[in-house]
Amino acid sequence: MTQDIKTHLSDLIRVALQSVAPDQAHTAIVLDRPKQIAHGDFACNLAMQLARSMKRNPRELAQLLLSEIPQSRFVGKTEIAGAGFINFHLLPAAKLEVVRDILAQGQSYGRSAQGGGRKLQIEFVSANPTGPLHVGHGRGAAYGASLANLMAYAGWDVTREYYVNDAGRQMDILALSTWLRYLEFYGELLPFPPNAYQGDYVSGMAEQMRIAHDGKFVRAVADILCGTPGLPDAAAVDDAAKAQREAHLDALIARAKELLGEEWNYVHSHVLSEQLEDCRNDLEEFGVHYDVWFSEMSLFDTGLVARCVARLAAAGQIYEQNGAKWFKSTAFGDEKDRVVQRDNGLYTYFASDIAYHLNKYERGFERIINIWGADHHGYTARVKGALAALGLDPDVLDVALVQFAVLYRDGQKASMSTRSGEFVTLRTLREEVGKDACRFFYVLRKSDQHLDFDLDLAKSQTNENPVYYIQYAHARVCSLLAQWRAGAESDAGAPAALADADLTRLDAAHELALAAKLSEFPELVAATASELAPHMIAFYLKDLAGQFHSYYNAERMLVEDAALKDARVALAAAVRQVIRNGLAILGVSCPQSM
């Protein structure tokens, strides 16, 4: 009904505009909701828009427009306010019609055709499968899943995708870390590199290898350390010491590959499959589902990385220097040119990333949204530059940045390092506060804003906890409906249809305000989809629940007057449906009792 009302009001204003200024009839008509209820239900600033070009006083122009607006059965009063706003006050019946719309449309209420069924890919999380997901990854997962639900609700054909970094150095480090822990079972001990992966999960994967293959992969420590640079003093933290530790780690990886031969592929595949499966299960339990798990290695196996670099070279966007191939990214706004192929012939991560984005275009996506950590903010320009250099439209790609959430437990900030093993996993957080609180709290702020995750608040069952407050409103309506049905059945054998309730009986100010709040939902979905901002859904639901609780506490729902009772229950049922629709977008459940 809201969109119909807005369309209806726009049509009325268009009629007036054609009469007052036919040469301006093409002007876009914008209707907004005033912040103060005294200013009406909708306001139009058309007179102020046209005042300069028409050389007229905006209030006088507003009066002219107002005099030409046709009568409407939905509008009770129109008035001029401020510098020249035209305010519309709807009749109560028009405001309340939304209740009937919601009950008729159910879970479809708020859906739109904004996306037109166009193909949209959203890639999110895409954490290296080198360890359990931690609470920092959780925010990207919650945001990405909620955004995907929102965009589908707004009419896009959404593909949810995880990019698996299975071809890089980090996977080699994890494989080495696991192998070194495996060797410890057989007394082959060497100083464990401080920059290798330290967590208990590494020892767990090593134990699996021991059980399945016994000593098959054992090699002597002396052979492993042969020719490798030593580690610096543990207390040294200067750049030279850091570089020496990395060189030591790379040398160990090279020796492991040499000593194990083809068996290195087993170790690598073992740790990849274990961590990837753990990641899949963790996300599924978090309510995050993917349509595609895309392998980085496939880009090399199919030759797409080489083809991509060759295509850039053919376009004159590659030059060679010191044996390496460089992409001219400064020509596209980047701060410096970037290496795509090193002097040893190996392609860089940037090269595979360009190829991955080329693949997205070749799959026919009409819009692409990457959800990246805020530390990738400088990466956007170079990726878009590479797309432009390939002759592709860079505006097809949007990048949404996500700040990592910071978890506080007992007033202490928790570490989230993956290599050190001193991190709080997403699974641990979910088990402690529950999936619903995790999903909701993660989207309580705009994605690129800092978020402190208040663990104590998330676990509390009070009105201060927003997810509890919203779910409690839903449960309250469920209880109310159960009582209403029981009463109706005892009185007449079957409950009346709420859609047929006499809504004119709802004339209290807070009832009309609650109906007006419900009517905002379709507009909100459209706005949040345009801004990639599911946090606005969370704020809306909190406000809606607050208005309902106030109404419920102020009025008796199941009154003796049957018509009034049915009307109030119908309004409550509409609130429940909108809460359900909104929480479904955010991936939060709707308990029937609490």
The confidence score (pLDDT) of residue 378 equals 84
Here the contacts of 457-465 (C-beta below 8 Å, separation 24 or greater) are 458/433, 458/434, 459/432, 459/433, 459/434, 461/594, 463/549, 465/437
Of residues 395, 374, 396, the one with CA closest to residue 446: 374
H-type alpha helices, 446-588: 455-459, 466-492, 509-519, 521-531, 535-554, 562-586
Contact between residue 176 and residue 249 where contact means Cβ atoms under 8 Å apart: yes
Any idea which residue has 């005294």 for tokens?
Answer: 38
Q: How would residue 413 be classed by pLDDT, with cut points 50, 70 and 90?
A: confident
Token output for 57: 């006083």
**Taking all residues of the chain, what is their mean pLDDT, rounded to a whole number?**
93
Contact between residue 135 and residue 416 where contact means Cβ atoms under 8 Å apart: yes
Q: How would residue 417 be classed by pLDDT, with cut points 50, 70 and 90?
A: low
Question: What whole-number distance in Å separates Cα of residue 285 and Cα of residue 514?
Answer: 35
Instruction: Indicate yes or no: pTM above 0.95.
Output: no
The confidence score (pLDDT) of residue 496 equals 60
The confidence score (pLDDT) of residue 423 equals 66
Q: How would residue 199 be classed by pLDDT, with cut points 50, 70 and 90?
A: confident
Phi, psi of 388 (to 5 degrees): -65, -40
Cα–Cα distance list, 567 to 47, 297, 508, 572 (Å): 39, 60, 12, 9
Give residue-wise pLDDT tens across range 440-487.
Answer: 999 999 999 999 898 889 999 999 999 999 999 999 999 999 999 988
Q: How would residue 37 be classed by pLDDT, with cut points 50, 70 and 90?
A: confident
Token output for 36: 């103060």
Q: What number is the average pLDDT over the span 392-407? A: 94
Cβ partners under 8 Å of residue 434, min gap 6: 458, 459
Reading across the β-sheet that carries 397-402, which strands appear in turn?
A: 292-295, 157-164, 119-123, 367-373, 397-402
Q: What number is the average pLDDT over the span 65-74? A: 93
Give residue-wise pLDDT tens across range 98-129.
Answer: 999 999 999 999 999 999 999 999 999 999 99
Taking only Cα atoms into account, the Rg of the chain, rounded to an integer number of angstroms, comes to 30
Task: Answer yes or no: is pLDDT of 408 > 90.
Answer: no
Beta strand pairing status for 451-454 and 405-409? parallel
Task: Answer yes or no: is pLDDT of 219 > 70.
Answer: yes
Q: What number is the average pLDDT over the span 518-523? A: 95
Least confident of 177-181, 259-263, 378-382, 502-506: 378-382
Cβ partners under 8 Å of residue 565, min gap 6: 484, 557, 558, 559
Task: Answer yes or no: is pLDDT of 3 > 70.
Answer: no
Give residue-wise pLDDT tens across range 300-345.
Answer: 999 999 999 999 999 999 999 999 999 999 999 899 999 999 999 9
Token output for 136: 């920092």
DSSP state of 229: P
Any idea which residue has 């090193």 for tokens?
Answer: 342
Give residue-wise pLDDT tens across range 419-433.
Answer: 555 568 899 899 999
Any idea which residue has 């392998």 for tokens?
Answer: 295
Q: CA angle 229-235-237, nearest 5°?
A: 75
* Domains, the chain, with CATH or none: 2-90 (3.30.1360.70), 97-113+464-586 (1.10.730.10), 169-275 (no CATH)
Q: What number is the average pLDDT over the span 140-156? A: 98
Question: What whole-number distance in Å separates Cα of residue 312 and Cα of residue 336?
Answer: 17
Q: What is the largest CA-CA distance in the chain?
A: 95
DSSP state of 26: T
What percentage of the chain has pLDDT greater than the value 70?
A: 96
Beta strand pairing status for 157-164 and 119-123? parallel
As beta bridge partners, residue 81 has 85
Question: What whole-number distance in Å separates Cα of residue 110 and Cα of residue 101?
Answer: 10
